[in-house]
Amino acid sequence: MESYLNQNFDVKAKHSSEEALEKWRNLCGVVKNPKRRFRFTANLSKRYEAAAMRRTNQEKLRIAVLVSKAAFQFISGVAPSDYTVPEEVKAAGYDICADELGSIVESHDVKKLKFHGGVDGLAGKLNASPTEGLSTTDADKLTQRQDLFGINKFAESELKSFWVFVWEALQDMTLMILGVCAFVSLIVGIATEGWPKGSHDGLGIVASILLVVFVTATSDYRQSLQFRDLDKEKKKITVQVTRNGFRQKLSIYDLLPGDIVHLAIGDQVPADGLFLSGFSVVIDESSLTGESEPVMVNAQNPFLLSGTKVQDGSCKMLITTVGMRTQWGKLMATLTEGGDDETPLQVKLNGVATIIGKIGLFFAVVTFAVLVQGMFMRKLSTGTHWIWSGDEALELLEYFAIAVTIVVVAVPEGLPLAVTLSLAFAMKKMMNDKALVRHLAACETMGSATTICSDKTGTLTTNHMTVVKSCICMKVQDVANKGSTLQSEIPESAVKLLIQSIFNNTGGEVVVNKHGKTEILGTPTETAILELGLSLGGNFQEERKSYKVIKVEPFNSTKKRMGVVIELPEGGSLRAHTKGASEIVLAACDKVVNSSGDVVPLDEESIKYLNVTINEFANEALRTLCLAYMDLENGFSPDEAIPASGFTCVGIVGIKDPVRPGVKESVELCRRAGITVRMVTGDNINTAKAIARECGILTDDGIAIEGPVFREKSQEELLELIPKIQVMARSSPMDKHTLVKQLRTTFDEVVAVTGDGTNDAPALHEADIGLAMGIAGTEVAKESADVIILDDNFSTIVTVAKWGRSVYINIQKFVQFQLTVNVVALIVNFSSACLTGSAPLTAVQLLWVNMIMDTLGALALATEPPNNELMKRLPVGRRGNFITNAMWRNILGQSVYQFIVIWFLQAKGKSMFGLDGPDSTLMLNTLIFNCFVFCQVFNEISSREMEEIDVFKEILDNYVFVVVIGATVFFQIIIIECLGTFASTTPLTIVQWIFSIIIGFLGMPIAAGLKMIPV
């Protein structure tokens, strides 16, 4: 079975081809209810629609760009446009309508933009200020703006009501056929036996069908609500906005035309708009157009489209068009209908359901044929084969109902849906544990992870950074203890240089918030450096006003430094400032500021002193940054790159970023669970090693390597080296990508990777599970990830691995339980029909058994919470069989026991309990039914553990399990004692009840004995 499944029902957890997705769909032959079975699979036709829309967008934008380029050449005398402002817009105090705004950006219409007075003119027409943003103090005005220009929300598919799920559950082909049987049974029964006696069989089947439908619909409806809640969480994105003169964080869904949004590298453009100011802005429009070539955005080409990503640079933009008026809004509406890819387990269990369904269908047909043949032979022997009574017609109908019900029980439709139920439950719980799962498949894949490649900053450390040591003007100082006295110990000229460098060469900002307090915005590293600048007596706003910024080169992981060129007020000369990885910036310096504040050449002795200082800081687990500057020649052009050498070193700072509490224990837990943790960081190798030792990642037999060294290794060397690598320092995003690819392809590992920056996207995409940081992560990183770690904590990653294992094992437990019921119910009814000419389990009884094993069984076993024992097992890895030998052992062992018990009762039951008279067969069949159900109840408890003998451990922690078992027993008593006329049962004596329970319970020691058999 496993090889057939791997051949035909094998899809990847990520990036499966359309062919693979189509293939398994075509192979699903026996499907009782396609609407329900394929509810959580991708809608391929909607995906093709979205791809066609992307191609249309690409063509539209290509033409728009060509037209705008042509328009540039003829723009000098812009002819007045025939645009007139609609009356309702004019009455509201605006000079432009939403449609005109939309057409300017969507069509890249330079002519229209010029006619409306450029970006500043449009801001004025929208009653917004390019510096202060929107004023939202007047609530009525705000509502009016929303009514006229729309809100930044996309059309979502409406939440299906409970009754839709009831209707979908009724689409089950076998239930429909049973419904028809019940209807015919009612008519024939009433015609022959009168009301109410003749209606009992028919009404019994109808009641069973309705019970199955409502329980199924309730379970499915609850699942859909869980997914809706998770979808809401996925869409929570905030951006930096200037409103009412203050910089603040705002949800992208609260944005309105006229808002001023601050974009940085890795952000997603939240709505259509226009570039106001910024540097080196490169936009990736592939998500919207499919075009891989990035686009430069500047004052000449100011158009920014919703859904595109900032690949480089930073800027301020004016929002013009929001929500469904944007191309992204229209594309998103189609994309969301396309749905997520189905997970490997869903597909595999669809395969299992298909195989067993075909077997069940065969047995059902044969059972019906055998029962009918037996009936004909009986009539032939009495010579009444041409004379049919109503009772005989009902008997024939009952045979047909039994055959159909065998299909109901034999086709395990619930298997693929149990995966979804388990994943939905796990995702909801993981949300509470600070992990947001973006793709269903990641949940189950994480359970098989064998390697975690983790970032250092913010994941293993707290990301609360402070400058604690510095080496400014060749003098090492303890900043943490000095505080404000540091300024007096540094020459005045050096302090001025430092403040100039810190406040101009930064991606952060110091602002006054609406409560009048000073607030530092930016990454933790930037915040630490800006705090140092403030402690040196600097004033951020004054410093920024004093100098004109000519060029900005934002930080990126490849260069490992950032730079700025400013124009000095005295004489208009230019100066470049740079900061970044200490050894890289220091290597670009040929001069240094000495202890008296003078610039002197950087000799061998000074270089050695500074390198020793860097290593000392690094060995204390400090992040080190070097700050340097150079005065540029007057001929420098903003189009040129900032020079790579010739700088003057001002100083080196050591930033403390403490290790997160609990990380060491989590790393040790991973090691015991067979998961290798590797640290991949851009930091100095000594810093990385110090932190890795503190976390327990770097051991005596492990290797720490630098990215540039790793890059130079040949494939043969990598084969030997990679298994030993525990730390990779000074790594570039491509080093991370190479390591992940090698681990996945050459070493067949299942790799989880953390990332926060834009450049991490390729590695996150390549990994089996991409983990993005919720706090420090950019939107691009989150978009490429499968799971978002909301608290950026390594311990949360271990929790995700634990939940992943829990999902995988829970589904295995459920499969084991369901296949046991399938096998026994099939063989009992089939063999009994063949040998005795009647089936001991009626249609109503089989529907009840189906509900126990399908919906209720899934609820009980697929929602088992994880325990610490899970992390003591080795991971399944990439090649593990889903239905293991241990599962087959348990299934076959239990099936044989249950089959023997039922056969013994059929053969010897009457004499054993002294049953005789007209009701003896009914009483025996009731006893068999009761024993069968109690076998399933106790087997469900045994299925809580596939290898462990103690199945009662922490059973009360899973209240769902306890409720399901309790409800099953309660309703079984009701069915036997009260619903005899409908369920073809009769009340049992106390001895028979005790016997049924003992027979069921005996399955538990047998299950324990089976677990001792090695496989």
Q: For 986, which DSSP code?
A: -
- What is the C-alpha to C-alpha distance for residues 93 and 72, in angstroms, rounded to an integer? 31
The residues that bridge with 755 in the sheet, in sequence order, are: 772
Residues 6+ positions from 684 with CB-CB distance below 8 Å? 581, 582, 583, 614, 618, 623, 624, 729, 730
Q: Which of 284, 312, 455, 683 is catalytic?
A: 455
Instruction: Name the CA radius of gyration of the chain, rounded.
Output: 35
- What is the C-alpha to C-alpha distance for residues 733 and 736, in angstroms, rounded to an integer? 5
Quickly count: other Cβ atoms within 10 Å of residue 358's Cβ.
14
Give how far the C-alpha of residue 741 lies from the chain's centroid of Cα atoms, to the nearest Å. 21
The three-class DSSP label of residue 301 is coil
Q: For 461, which DSSP code?
A: B
Q: Which of 961, 859, 975 is nearest to 218 (CA)?
A: 859
Name the phi and psi angles at 52, rounded to 5. -65, -40
Contacts 24+ apart (CB under 8 A), 53-61: 53/330, 53/331, 53/334, 54/288, 54/289, 54/290, 54/331, 55/290, 57/288, 57/289, 57/290, 57/327, 57/331, 58/289, 58/290, 58/291, 60/106, 60/327, 61/108, 61/285, 61/288, 61/289, 61/291, 61/305
Amino acid at 130: P
Two tokens at 539?
A: 């004033």
- What is the C-alpha to C-alpha distance for residues 329 and 809, in angstroms, rounded to an integer? 40
The three-class DSSP label of residue 293 is coil
The residues that bridge with 752 in the sheet, in sequence order, are: 452, 769
Kindly report the CA angle at 193 between 190 and 194, in degrees rounded to 5? 50
Q: Are 349 and 418 in contact (CB under 8 A)?
A: yes
- What is the C-alpha to C-alpha distance for residues 185 and 172, in angstroms, rounded to an integer? 20
Catalytic (active site) residue 254: no
- What is the C-alpha to C-alpha distance for residues 550 and 565, in angstroms, rounded to an integer? 5
What is the maximum alpha-carbon separation in the chain?
124
Cis bond before residue 34 (omega within 30° of 0): no
Residues 6+ positions from 205 with CB-CB distance below 8 Å? 178, 179, 181, 182, 185, 401, 843, 844, 847
Residues 6+ positions from 708 with CB-CB distance below 8 Å? 730
The three-class DSSP label of residue 250 is strand
- What is the C-alpha to C-alpha distance for residues 797 and 800, in angstroms, rounded to an integer? 5
- What is the C-alpha to C-alpha distance for residues 22 and 52, in angstroms, rounded to an integer? 19
Residues marked active site are found at 455
